[in-house]
Structure 1
Amino acid sequence: MAGADPKRTSWPEVVGIPATPAVMKIAHDRSDVAIEVLPDGLKVPKGFNPKRVRVFINAKESQGLVAKTPVVG
């Protein structure tokens, strides 16, 4: 695992893994952002927030796997 990267804005490598290790990876890279874990397909308010990463998971699966690439915003 590489060190923290304050300029990192996306985590394509966590797609398909459970939410908990995905959140841990994102938090390791960007301890300055708030991470929200949400079911994929949930309607969320629009608007960019440079201090937020939303992790969308497939809630239909028992493991809650990351459904799409988490990004800052």
Structure 2
Amino acid sequence: MNSLAAEGKTEWPELVGHKIKEAKEKIKADRPDLKVEVVTVGTSVTEEFNTKRVRIWVDTVVQVPRIG
């Protein structure tokens, strides 16, 4: 067994399409040892692999953009 498998869950495909808050809560419930980062698609981020980080990539406009 590799070290990642020994630490627990490493992916959450069931969260695709869920609200960010729900996704963060589920990840933290499954793996409280991880830091969860919400990142807008297109944002520059470091490329190093970090076994204690999960990134939630978002790109959906949820309300009509308007002046005001």
TM-score (norm 2): 0.75
> For residues 21 and 43 of structure 1, what CA distance do their matches in structure 2 show?
24
Higher helix share: 2
Corresponding pairs, count: 57
Gaps of 5+ in 2: 1-6, 64-68
- Tell me the equivalent position of 1:62: 62
> For residues 44 and 26 of structure 1, what CA distance do their matches in structure 2 show?
20
- Tell me the equivalent position of 1:21: 22
Poorly superposed stretches of 4+, deviation over 2 Å: none
Aligned-residue Cα RMSD (Å) equals 1.4
- Tell me the equivalent position of 1:7: 8
> For residues 39 and 18 of structure 2, what CA distance do their matches in structure 1 show?
14
With CA pairs under 8 Å and 6+ residues apart, which has the higher RCO, 1 or 2?
1
- Which has the greater radius of gyration? 2
Gaps of 5+ in 1: 1-5, 64-73
- Tell me the equivalent position of 1:45: 46
